[in-house]
Amino acid sequence: MTGDLHLHSYYSDGVYSPSAVIEKAVAAGCKVTALTDHDTVDGLDEAESAADALGIKNIPGVEISARKGVDVHILGYGIDKLSRRFRDFIRAQKEGRRERAQLLLEKLSEHGIDIPLSEFDCPIKREISRAHIAAAIVRLGYENDFHTAMRKWLHPGSATFVPTRGAAPEVAIEEIHAAGGLAVLAHPVRLDLDAYARSALIKSLTSAGLDGIEAYYKRSSHESVSGFKSLADSLGLFVTAGADFHGDGNEIIAREQPEEITNV
């Protein structure tokens, strides 16, 4: 089945509602989708209704922000979002996000960047990310553009950086499995590690139960895709494709996805 397994809505840092995301995915040729908001499953019911109405399949998904020296994002597919244990895990992840956002705002304030909490008012109960903070820095006139705001104030190495407070990736994998799902390493190409450390991490996550890696990511180069595909083959992992769609900046893709996921 062809589709895109990495889509964000306004329940995290995407621009559109879950239904609008699914409509756009159908228009892009997807027969299967997965809404994978950061540390929240609040958009999944709407995504599922929209997918049903349009005659495609939406896999219940999530993107867990984990940390192991660097950011490691673990996608969960086919999770039972109502399981007691998974809800507790997601609650802790959301709590960590809120604490981190608060610390970031305190540090920014110490550096003369004052962002009132009202900047984050929103009718939807969404999870705040660095993307929202970077947008607020620009809106309030402290920087001219989003990428400068990110690079100067919110990236590792900047004086005001605060790391994600998420779980270890091994824990994310375990929790996804306990909720009946499959765990896939998101955008391995974006891991902030050299090639050797990246392979070592993927091997160690495979020992911890990782099921797949997102070898096709956005506009990844052919070399990057084939490198991750052969690593996946050698480790017995399946490969997925995802656009990491947040809005109109990047196109939703429609690629063949592994049956292990589309049959859940």
Is residue 130 a contact point for ligand AMP (CB under 6 A)?
yes
Residue with the CB atom nearest Mn ion in the bound state: 73
Q: Write the binding mask 135 to 164 for Mn ion: x where contact by CB under 5 A, - elsewhere.
A: ------------------------------
Selected binder of ligand AMP within 9, 129, 206, 240 (CB under 6 A)? 129
Q: Which of 24, 38, 198, 218 binds ligand AMP (CB under 6 A)?
A: 38
Among 66, 131, 162, 261, binds ligand AMP (CB under 6 A): 131
| Binding to ligand AMP in span 145-164, by CB under 6 A | 147, 150, 164
Q: Which one of 73, 97, 126, 132 is in contact with Mn ion (CB under 5 A)?
A: 73
* Residue reference for tokens 């984050």: 120
Site string for Mn ion, 217-246 (x = CB under 5 A): ---------------------------x--
* Chain residues 183-242 in contact with ligand AMP, contact rule CB under 6 A: none
User: In the complex, which residues of this chain contact ligand AMP (CB under 6 A)?
Assistant: 13, 38, 65, 129-131, 147, 150, 164, 246
